[in-house]
Amino acid sequence: MPRRIIDIHPHVIASDTARYPMAPLGGHQSNWSAERPVSWQQLLADMKEAGVDQAAIVQASTCYGYDNSYVTDAVAAAPDRFTAVGSVDALSDDAVERIRYWQSRGMTGLRLFTTGSTMPGQATWFTDPRTAPVWTYAQETGLPVCMQMTQDGLTDLEEILGRFPGVKIVLDHLARPDLSGGEAFPQAQKLFDFARYPAVYLKLTVRAFEALKAAGARPEPFFERLIAAYGANRIAWGSNHPASAGGLKALLETAQDGLSFLPSDTLDQIFAGTALALYPALAEAGGKREVAARD
């Protein structure tokens, strides 16, 4: 039986800029979204080609900022295949109200964009006391919060975890760890140490495989140590398609090849199980699809 595959980090970009105007964080559109945009319709086609069953589409913050209209419209068009991870201005007075609004339109995860191609460096605004209502709401409702950040931000994130220990945190791209220094990975120690926070999850994308290649390190010792620290039930795969070039099928194959040494049940967890735990809407939608297929 083919392995179920769920992608928790693709992006979608509309061709209709009148209906979906640009409002990128950082003030200018990311190069990738301008050069290789993928609509939600194309994403479905790419998923079919690659063998990806469902996706938690992540707001393209470097294209649309806090306007989640396109990603939530994608969910409305294909609710059995998609859920949305949207963004809001966590410093605004109405942040929680905006979260509730986007949840009513299909958002089941939140993303805080603290660094990226249009915003270099590592911001610390997420520790500002004005963000407390967002963290409180996320903790009380179980809303997972994806942190687009580097490992330089992990110390500040510890402050949030100290105040809101129950909030589900998902580290985009494993917080982009530095994997240099040999296969003991001394520069990534902070990432391994973060496993002591039980509500912290890891989003494994192609960025990790790129970092391993750049460091001249094998994937086996890194992922064995990572899984020993976190457990496969706190690690989920995401493609980063189309922000990372190559196409969805190739990005999935990179992950499958790099993790091929792992046991089958571990792979099932990383490629689907953890995603379903983080985004129950996908589990519910998948169940309905299976029932419909049987009928």
Phi, psi torsion values for 62, nearest 5 degrees: -85, 10
Dmax over CA atoms of the chain, in Å, equals: 56
Tokens of 150: 């580097």
**CA-CA distances (angstroms) from residue 35 to 57, 100, 156, 210?**
19, 33, 34, 21
Task: Measure the CA–CA gap between 59 and 56, rounded to whole angstroms.
Answer: 10
Kindly report the pTM of this predicted structure: 0.95
pLDDT at site 286: 62
Contacts of 184 (CB under 8 A, 6+ apart): none
- Tell which CATH classification among 2.40.50.140, 3.40.50.970, 3.20.20.140, 3.40.605.10 matches the domain 6-294: 3.20.20.140
Contact indicator for 5, 52 with CB cutoff of 8 Å: yes
Task: Measure the CA–CA gap between 61 and 111, rounded to whole angstroms.
Answer: 9
Task: Measure the CA–CA gap between 141 and 72, rounded to whole angstroms.
Answer: 20
Task: Measure the CA–CA gap between 219 and 213, rounded to whole angstroms.
Answer: 9
pLDDT at site 118: 81
Q: Per-residue confidence of the chain (295 residues) as pLDDT tens digits? A: 578 999 999 999 999 999 999 999 988 999 999 999 999 999 999 999 999 999 999 999 999 999 999 999 999 999 999 999 999 999 999 999 999 999 999 999 999 999 887 888 888 999 999 999 999 999 999 999 999 999 999 999 999 999 999 999 999 999 999 999 999 999 999 999 999 999 999 999 999 999 999 999 999 999 999 999 999 999 999 999 999 999 999 999 999 999 999 999 999 999 999 999 999 999 987 655 553 444 4
Tokens of 100: 């509730």
Residue ranges of domains in the chain: 6-294
Other CB atoms within 10 A of residue 288 CB: 12
Tokens of 88: 């809001």
